[in-house]
């Protein structure tokens, strides 16, 4: 079985946003694949408050809208992933795989399916039924409520960006945009869906760091890869990433 290396980052301590900072974490991607059995690295993080805009929508956000994001305490970035504008922030779990699809023997659609299936299985573990729609990327709790947004970029068989699962996210942050350019659709979260099924639910159970412990084995199954901690396979790369993170403080 192939090995997929994982690194879970508590960005509440380090202020990572999953966009501009991730560029630094992609430094010398070839180092992620320095052993034949290693197929890549999976970064897991809870981002700070940020709006990111994908390739299809770059240049369409006005300066007034950008200023409104900043005034509300959020940053704004235009990035390489597919899709349109969305929100990332506290209470959200971002899975950012940097994988060699050639080594995994996966096509682009296979990769996206595996990513979304892993998140769907995670939601099911918390009692939330989800589905996917071919024409609408992401994972959905209903035909109109999206619980996880997918956006990827692939260059020379190597992936970047990934999927963002709303755990306890402030959903009001989506009100000022049309998430992913889908009119008539709304964002939801694990916590919101749990409250639909029951009057009370312990919100702490859905902390992104806690949810990541369920997501890891689900992704291990869908990618048919053994997920191991980064420091056990590549101490030098683990040291590089942690040193990079420390420079952000």
Residues designated as active site: 180
Two tokens at 220?
């291990």
Can you give the length of the chain in residues?
A: 249
Q: Which two tokens stand for residue 246?
A: 């420390």
**Burial environment of residue 67 by CB neighbours within 10 A (0 to 12, 13 to 18, 19 or more):** exposed
- Residue 71 CA to residue 50 CA, distance in Å, equals 12
Residue 68 near residue 176 (C-beta atoms within 8 A): yes
Q: From the DSSP assignment, how many helices (H) and strands (E) are in the chain? A: 9, 12
End-to-end Cα, the chain, rounded Å? 37
């Amino acid at each position: 079985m192939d090995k997929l290396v994982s690194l879970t980052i508590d960005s509440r301590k380090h202020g990572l946003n999953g966009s501009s900072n991730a560029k630094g974490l992609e430094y010398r991607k070839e180092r992620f694949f320095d052993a034949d059995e290693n197929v890549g690295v999976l970064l897991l993080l809870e981002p700070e408050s940020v709006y990111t805009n994908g390739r299809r929508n770059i240049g369409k956000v006005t300066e007034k809208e950008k200023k409104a994001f900043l005034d509300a305490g959020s940053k704004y970035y235009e990035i390489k992933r597919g899709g349109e504008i969305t929100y990332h922030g506290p209470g959200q779990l971002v899975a950012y795989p940097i994988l060699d699809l050639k080594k995994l023997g996966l096509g682009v659609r296979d990769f996206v399916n595996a990513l979304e299936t892993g998140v769907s299985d995670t939601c099911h573990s918390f009692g939330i039924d989800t589905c996917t729609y071919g024409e609408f990327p992401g994972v959905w709790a209903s035909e109109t409520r999206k619980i996880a947004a997918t956006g990827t970029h692939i260059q020379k068989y190597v992936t970047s960006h990934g999927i963002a699962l709303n755990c306890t996210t402030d959903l009001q942050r989506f009100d000022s945009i049309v998430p992913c350019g889908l009119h008539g659709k709304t964002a939801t979260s694990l916590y919101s869906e749990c409250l639909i099924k029951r009057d009370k639910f312990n919100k702490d159970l859905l902390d992104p760091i806690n949810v990541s412990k369920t997501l890891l084995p689900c992704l291990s199954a869908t990618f048919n890869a053994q997920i191991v901690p980064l420091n056990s396979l590549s101490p030098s790369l683990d040291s590089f990433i942690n040193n990079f993170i420390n420079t952000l403080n």
